[in-house]
Chain A
Amino acid sequence: MSRWQANRRHAVRFNLNGKPCAGEAEPRMLLTDFLRHQIGMTGTHVGCEHGVCGACTVDIDGNPTRACLTLAIQVDGSNVRTVESLAPSAGRLGILQAAFKRNHALQCGFCTAGILMSLDGFLRKYPQADEQAIRNLLTGHLCRCTGYTPIVRAALEAAAEMRGASSMEKSNA
């Protein structure tokens, strides 16, 4: 059993976007604040801070998760992925991001990082996902700009592209 004292900072280590990441956190520090203020990764947005809006969604050990309902100290030793992991290199967009851009699936962009992280994990697991499945996944997010239709369109387009890309990789191999 280990006890971390309140009002003191403790070392927290986990894998962030495939690289080791370390920082210090009081037990009460949320993962959102740890990512943004300790690590300086501001791609993860903070909306409602009680798990309703989905803007802070990140991937923890392969599952989309609310970073605002997770303590930094709880992810010690885990694998965390944030929106910063989606672009293949600086100045280029990943498949999902490019599909969002083409389809005008974002306007103000506040909710986008969370939606991308939910869709990224989901489409990796279920590349055949249909519109109903994608709409069901999106119930975990609030977007007040788009009315969701362009987001669904972008997700379906990205899914088709990912399927094409993976079958091409297989035929090359």
Chain B
Amino acid sequence: MKPAAFDYVRAEHLDEALDVLANEGSDARIIAGGQSLMPMLNMRLAKPKTLVDIMRVSELSRIERNASTVTIGAAVRQTSLLDWSELGESLPLAALALPWTGHVQTRSRGTVCGSIAHADPSAELPLVLCALDGDVHLRSARRRRRVAAKDFFAGMMATTRGDDELIEAVSFPADQKRCAFREVARRHGDFAIVACAAVARGDGVRLAVGGVADMPVARDFPHLEASALDDALNAFAYDLDARDDVHATARYRRDLVRMIGRDLVREALQ
């Protein structure tokens, strides 16, 4: 339960971190808050040759709000977002989901972008990014690109980020006021057995589900009568291809998707 040996690089500027990634590729890993990566290092599920700490890169610690989006830099801790005075007004879905993201003791160091980079299928922040159709801002020494949430997540703890890229920021559409969030976990703050987020869009609702498939999955539901909605939610629950594991059976997970889904669709439309 001790990490394998690595070089530790403390970057003061973004370019320095990008240079290390350009030279060392997948042998190097970015560390920000470390609340997802450190357990992987301790268990030696990850054995990078070089760890690049970006928490002292001041340009990454900003939360920026413009007319339509909120952009959160890679060094913004989850606690800092939770304490941001405009959170409830600008990103109400994140305000609902963040108290479920880990515990006070991990949110104090863990970053928003770090949780998204880790791409745990049960994690709340990737789910929120999917539900809101947010973007991941990737940067390498060669280029900059923005990837939509649905194109970023590629499976269990897998993303389409290149080996020489880091997440510079993530952005969320602002002011999606009609939204709802619910989660079932063994202990508040543990990874979700099922987590759902709903956002009203025009007449219908977009429902995103985490903890069931190997990544968060979103689907748009038009405005439906009760029984038609139940059928559509049932189809969605089956399409997520739930599996049995030590935490819950596939059937229980489908049940939760149907029940929570129905409640959240109603709540988001209110």
Instruction: Mark A residues whose CB is within 8 Å of B.
Output: 1-7, 26-28, 30, 33, 49-51, 54, 57, 60, 63-66, 68-71, 73-74, 118, 122, 136-137, 139-141
Q: How far is the CA of A78 from the CA of B50 in the complex (A)?
A: 23
Q: How far is the CA of A70 from the CA of B188 in the complex (A)?
A: 23
- Residue contact A4 to B42, C-beta cutoff 8 Å: no
**Chain B 97-137 near chain A by CB (<8 Å), digits 1 or 0:** 00100111110110000000000000000000000000000
Given contacts A1-B16, A69-B34, whether A140 and B104 have CB atoms under 8 Å apart is yes
- Residue contact A27 to B38, C-beta cutoff 8 Å: no
- Residue contact B39 to A65, C-beta cutoff 8 Å: no
**Chain B 72-89 near chain A by CB (<8 Å), digits 1 or 0:** 000000010000000000
Q: Which of B2-10, B165-173, B206-214 contacts A (4 or more CB under 8 A)?
A: B2-10
Q: How many A-B contacts if CB must be within 8 Å?
A: 107
- Residue contact A71 to B5, C-beta cutoff 8 Å: no
- Residue contact B187 to A50, C-beta cutoff 8 Å: no
Is B11 at the interface (CB under 8 A from chain A)? yes
- Residue contact A64 to B8, C-beta cutoff 8 Å: no
Apart from A28-B41, A54-B105, 14 more pairs, CB < 8 Å? A1-B10, A3-B7, A4-B8, A26-B5, A27-B51, A28-B2, A30-B42, A60-B109, A66-B35, A69-B39, A70-B34, A73-B8, A118-B105, A140-B106
- Count how many chain B residues have C-beta atoms less than 8 Å from C-beta atoms of the other chain: 37
- Residue contact A64 to B104, C-beta cutoff 8 Å: yes
- Residue contact B38 to A70, C-beta cutoff 8 Å: yes
Question: B residues within 8 A CB of A1?
Answer: 9-13, 16
Question: A residues within 8 A CB of B5?
Answer: 6-7, 26-28
Instruction: Mark B residues whose CB is within 8 Å of A.
Output: 1-13, 16, 34-35, 38-39, 41-43, 49, 51, 53, 55, 79, 99, 102-106, 108-109, 187-189
Q: Is the interface of B mostly helix, strand, loop or mixed?
A: loop
Nearest Cβ in chain B — how far from A109, in angstroms? 19
Q: Which of B2, B9, B34, B104: most chain A CB closer than 10 A?
A: B104
- Residue contact A139 to B188, C-beta cutoff 8 Å: yes
- Residue contact A27 to B8, C-beta cutoff 8 Å: yes
Given contacts A6-B7, A65-B109, whether A140 and B34 have CB atoms under 8 Å apart is no
- Residue contact A137 to B42, C-beta cutoff 8 Å: no
Question: B residues within 8 A CB of A54?
Answer: 103, 105
- Residue contact A122 to B42, C-beta cutoff 8 Å: no
Q: Which of A49, A57, A69: most chain B CB closer than 10 A?
A: A69
Nearest Cβ in chain B — how far from A60, in angstroms? 8
- Residue contact B42 to A140, C-beta cutoff 8 Å: no
